[in-house]
Structure 1
Amino acid sequence: MDIALLTLNDFNAFLNKIFTIQISDEIQLNAELVELTQLNNYSSLEREPFSIVFRTEQKTEYYQQGIFTIVHPQKGNLDLFLSPLGFDSVGMKYEAIFS
């Protein structure tokens, strides 16, 4: 799937659904898609920028930002740059921004 063609609408049906974040061949995390946010458009790009936020059940540890494979049975595999946002009462949040 070409991530350059994805829009916020492509993720609407998957809000509150579980994805897998593949950190490495040995490490995979279940992650719930918990936030979808339309961002201000400051460029002439056709696609409106947006962000998506996943939450894992990690309580005390997290992974540094980087490119990870996001796996979903219906969407397939997406290689996304994720940045850790911090912990909330459930776990660790990671954000991907599409600009």
Structure 2
Amino acid sequence: MSFSLDMFEPLVGQDFRIVVDGGERIATLIEACSLREAQGAGRLSRQFSLVWRGPPGAVLDQGIYRVLHPALPPQDLFLVCLGPDAQGMRYEAVFT
């Protein structure tokens, strides 16, 4: 399945489950933004990024995690830790 920014924009502010070592962590999608449009393989694609905020004390290492939300099929995403803000730890996935 191909994911698009339009699929995630309505989910900003909602919780996602991130599968970690047989358990789960909850992270809130706080940002879904367009990066740019790119031409490739004869079609135009819209590149975008997603940012989640998790609890401040539980840091996930950079890597591939199963991310779950009831409105979407399960997806394995490469998450990068962006560091903390005033409310928790932030993670980003980029779609190109």
Partner of 1:12: 9
Please state which structure has a larger fraction of its residues in strand: 2
Return 5+ residue gaps in structure 1 as ranges.
none
Tell me the TM-score normalised to structure 2 length.
0.88
Partner of 2:86: 89
After TM superposition, where is structure 1 displaced by more than 3 Å over at least 4 residues in a row? none
For the residues of structure 2 that align with 1:42 and 1:78, how far apart are their CA atoms?
23
For the residues of structure 2 that align with 1:74 and 1:10, how far apart are their CA atoms?
9
Partner of 2:59: 62
Return 5+ residue gaps in structure 2 as ranges.
none
From 29, 34, 56, the equivalent of 2:30 is 34
Tell me the TM-score normalised to structure 1 length.
0.86
Aligned residues, how many?
A: 94
Query: What's the % identity of the aligned pairs?
Result: 32
Larger deviation: 12-21 or 39-48?
39-48
